Amino acid sequence: MGKEKDNWGRDPAVHQMRRVFAGMEQIQKTLLDQTGIKPFDSRLRPVRETALNLFDKATALAAGKGIRLTDTAMIGIYAGCLQLAMTNAGIAISQDLLPDDSTLRELVREVSR
């Protein structure tokens, strides 16, 4: 059996998602540090699930509206989704970490209704 060429690591979309996931992890770490919540706090699983669900809906909505989903835009959308999910779970966080982009904030608002 011959060795098949692996193009996975060369795919620009894969590289973009790696950057986006790294940014998402950084946003989570920053918010957790800010609130003093430990990464394995039992409240975080449903918060993360809610944030990811909102993120999926918001990025699909953005794509449908023709909004260019750059790394920064996707990380900003996730930050808004995570902030909303944390707030809904009773975890207060500062608004300072959220992107100052009304289009992204509106996307998160739309999918959270």
Spans of all domains in the chain: 42-113
Backbone φ and ψ for 107, nearest 5 degrees, come out as -60, -45
User: How confident is the model at residue 15, as a pLDDT?
Assistant: 86
Q: Are 102 and 48 in contact (CB under 8 A)?
A: no
User: How confident is the model at residue 5, as a pLDDT?
Assistant: 64
User: How confident is the model at residue 101, as a pLDDT?
Assistant: 87
User: How confident is the model at residue 95, as a pLDDT?
Assistant: 76
Ranges of the chain whose pLDDT falls below 50: none
Against a cut of 0.75, is the pTM above it? yes
Q: What three-state secondary structure class fits 67?
A: coil
User: How confident is the model at residue 108, as a pLDDT?
Assistant: 93
